[in-house]
A = this chain, B = another copy of it.
Amino acid sequence: MALMLNTDAAVIQDEAHGGGLDAARAAWPDAPDPWIDLSTGINPWCYPLPPIPAQAWTRLPETAALGALHQAAALCYGAPGAEHVVAAPGTQAVIQWLPRLVPRNGVAILGPTYAEHAACWRLAGHDTMMVPDLEAALGSGAGVVVVVNPNNPDGRVLERDTLLRAAATLGRRGGWLVVDEAFMDVDPVHSLAADVDHPALLVLRSFGKFYGLAGLRLGFVLAAPASATILRRAIGPWAVPGPAIALASMALADRSWADRMRQRLAASARDLDDCLSRGGLALRGGTPLFRLVSHPDATQVAEALAGRGILVRRFADRPTLLRFGLPADTAALDRLRVALGAIASTGCGKGQG
- Stretch among A93-101, A252-260, A300-308 lining the B interface: A93-101
B230 pairs with A20, CB closer than 8 A: no
Residues 207-239 of A at the B interface (beta carbon under 8 Å): 208, 212-217, 223-224, 226-227, 229-231, 233-239
Q: How far is the CB of A225 from chain B (nearest CB, A)?
A: 9
B17→A237 contact, CB < 8 A: yes
User: Please, which residues of chain B bring their CB within 8 A of the CB of A341?
Assistant: none
Q: Which residues of B contact A242 (CB under 8 A)?
A: 215-217
- Chain A residues 159 to 204 lying within 8 A of chain B, measured CB to CB, are 171, 174, 199-200
Convert A236-278 into 0s and 1s, putting 1 for each residue whose CB lies closer than 8 angstroms to a CB of B.
Answer: 1111111110000000000000000000000000000000000
Q: Does A63 contact B (CB under 8 A)?
A: yes
B40 touches A58 (CB 8 A): no
Q: Is the CB of A61 within 8 A of B101?
A: no
Most chain B CB neighbours (cut-off 10 Å) among A2, A49, A55: A2
Q: Are A19 and B59 touching (Cβ within 8 A)?
A: yes
Q: Which residues of B contact A241 (CB under 8 A)?
A: 89, 215-217, 241, 244
Given A230-B12, A239-B90, check contact A42 B19 (CB 8 Å).
Answer: no
Task: Count residues on chain A whose CB falls below 8 Å from chain B CBs.
Answer: 75
User: For the complex, what is the distance from the CA of A58 to the CA of B215, rounded to whole Å?
Assistant: 5
B46:A199 contact, CB within 8 angstroms: no
Q: How many copies does the complex hold?
A: 2
Q: Which of A3-11, A75-83, A126-134, A146-154 is the interface stretch?
A: A3-11
Distance between A211 CB and nearest chain B CB, rounded to angstroms:
9
B residues less than 8 Å from A223 (CB atoms)? 3
Q: Verify if A62 is at the interface (C-beta below 8 Å from B).
A: yes
Chain B positions within 8 Å of A90 at CB level: 238-239
Check B42–A215 contact: CB distance below 8 A: no
Contact mask for chain A residues 50-65; partner B; CB cutoff 8 A; 1 contact, 0 none: 0000111111111111
Determine the chain B residues whose CB is within 8 A of the CB of A299 once the complex forms: none
Q: Is the pair B215, A60 in contact by a Cβ cutoff of 8 Å? A: yes
Is there a chain B Cβ closer than 8 Å to A344's Cβ?
no
Contact B215 A243 (CB under 8 A): yes
Chain B residues within an 8 Å CB radius of A9: 229-230
A85 at the interface (CB under 8 A from B): no
Give A contacts to B, CB under 8 Å: 1-5, 9, 12, 15, 17-23, 37, 40, 42, 46, 49, 54-65, 89-90, 92-93, 95-96, 100-103, 116, 120, 123, 171, 174, 199-200, 208, 212-217, 223-224, 226-227, 229-231, 233-244
25 contacts across the A-B interface (CB closer than 8 A): A1-B174, A1-B199, A1-B200, A3-B223, A4-B102, A5-B101, A19-B60, A19-B62, A20-B62, A22-B63, A22-B64, A49-B57, A55-B215, A56-B215, A57-B213, A57-B216, A59-B215, A90-B239, A92-B239, A93-B236, A116-B237, A123-B234, A215-B242, A217-B242, A241-B241
